Amino acid sequence: MASSMSMLERELGALFGARLVAARPLADLTSFQIGGPADYFISVETENELAAALGAAYQTSTPAFCLGAGTNLLVSDRGVRGLVVHLGRGLAKIEIDGVRVVAGAAAQFGLLVETVVERGLGGLEFGEGIPGTVGGGLVMNAGAFGGEIAKVVTCIHGVTREGACLALASGEIGFAYRRTNLPPGFVISRVEFDLAPAERQSLKTRVDELRARRASRQPRGVPNAGSVFKNPPGAFAGRLLEGAGLKGRRLGGAAFSDQHANFIVNLGGARADEVRALMELARIKVREQSGVWLEPEVRIVGDW
């Protein structure tokens, strides 16, 4: 790994110069505000740059990980080995042509929702208040209040781990509840949506309703990564966690929220190890109490 990394440093250093950053801490790039350093970090602005970065990592046998807005991640305290690729503003454009919308993977999902609602296009209102990028939303099949991104996506564009451009139609994405089945290492650069014309004021009213519902349910002003566990079939993870006595349970700087048991919050200085230990404890307690193994929704990444 050490020699493959120095090869990567040479290759990417030649292409990106000082934009290639070594030992970049990731905590400030995650909504949990937790996470150690990436060995190498690069922010790319075009599909060609993305292809070059992934291609160089592949050629040098260096693992590559795409970081979106970091709102669904628990990054190890030891950080991430290899290359972390981040998509920059150049890949955040939103283009609208009739009911067809193309959004760069780095666009903020919330901005996309606001933009299409303003244009009288329906289908993405459920996304009000879901933080993160369009690319992260696609990978997670982000959803809320009965809606999900899968329902309005027609096609995605991106780069394979080998560094080749590839487009996938909606039916090839393998959408399921809070997950997709994309080729390993595939990084999305653009997402195409087919939305429905709708009356702007009624879309706005719906978005306002959803915003109010979200505000009354979720912890605010304290770092977290949204729902920690997926809802098991026919049940709510939050209720199972509450039933198992986890609400408010604390370990070091991390705790299950007092407001919603399916959120773990960083009360200040929480370590990834603490969050992970709380998650493991919760899985065991819920299993004992109700016979259900909860499946994490938050992605646990890096070197543990």
Known catalytic residues are: 178, 227, 297
Nearer to ligand FAD, 218 or 290 (CB): 218
Residue 143 binds to ligand FAD (criterion: CB under 6 A): yes
Q: How far is CA 176 from CA 73, 101, 124, 147, 157, in A?
A: 19, 22, 17, 13, 19
Give the contact letters, 79-118, x = binds to ligand FAD (CB under 6 A), - = no: --------x-----------------x-------------
Residue 130 binds to ligand FAD (criterion: CB under 6 A): yes
Strand order in the sheet with 165-169: 94-97, 100-104, 187-194, 153-159, 165-169
Q: Write out the two tokens for 100.
A: 């067809």
Q: Taking CA 111 as the corner, what is the angle to CA 109 and CA 116, rounded to the nearest 5 degrees?
A: 100
Q: How far is the CB of 280 from ligand FAD (least distance, A)?
A: 20
Q: Where in 223-242 is the site for ligand FAD (CB under 6 A)?
A: 224-226
**What's the gap between Cα 266 and its chain centre?**
18
Residue 272 binds to ligand FAD (criterion: CB under 6 A): no
Q: Taking CA 178 as the corner, what is the angle to CA 177 and CA 180, rounded to the nearest 5 degrees?
A: 90
Residue 69 binds to ligand FAD (criterion: CB under 6 A): yes
Question: Residue 163 gets which letter from DSSP?
Answer: S
Nearer to ligand FAD, 122 or 296 (CB): 296
Residues 53, 58, 59, 63, CA torsion sign: positive
Among the listed ranges 37-45, 65-73, 205-213, 283-291, the one in contact with ligand FAD (CB under 6 A) is 65-73
Nearer to ligand FAD, 42 or 285 (CB): 42
Q: How far is the CB of 10 from ligand FAD (least distance, A)?
A: 25
Strand 254-256 relative to strand 250-251, pairing? antiparallel
Q: How far is the CB of 95 from ligand FAD (least distance, A)?
A: 17
Residues 39 and 21: their CA atoms lie apart, in Å, by 8
Nearer to ligand FAD, 106 or 285 (CB): 106
Near ligand FAD by CB under 6 A: residue from 35, 79, 122, 136: 136
How many residues contact ligand FAD, by CB under 6 A?
Answer: 32
Residues forming beta bridges with residue 193, ordered by sequence position: 101, 153
Nearer to ligand FAD, 68 or 122 (CB): 68
Residue 13: burial class (beta carbons within 10 Å; 0-12, 13-18, 19+) = middle
Q: Where in 173-212 is the site for ligand FAD (CB under 6 A)?
A: 178, 187-188
Among the listed ranges 115-123, 219-227, 245-253, 265-273, the one in contact with ligand FAD (CB under 6 A) is 219-227
Residues forming beta bridges with residue 41, ordered by sequence position: 21, 84
Rule CB under 6 A: which residues touch ligand FAD? 31, 65-73, 87, 105, 130-133, 135-137, 139-140, 142-144, 178, 187-188, 218, 224-226, 299
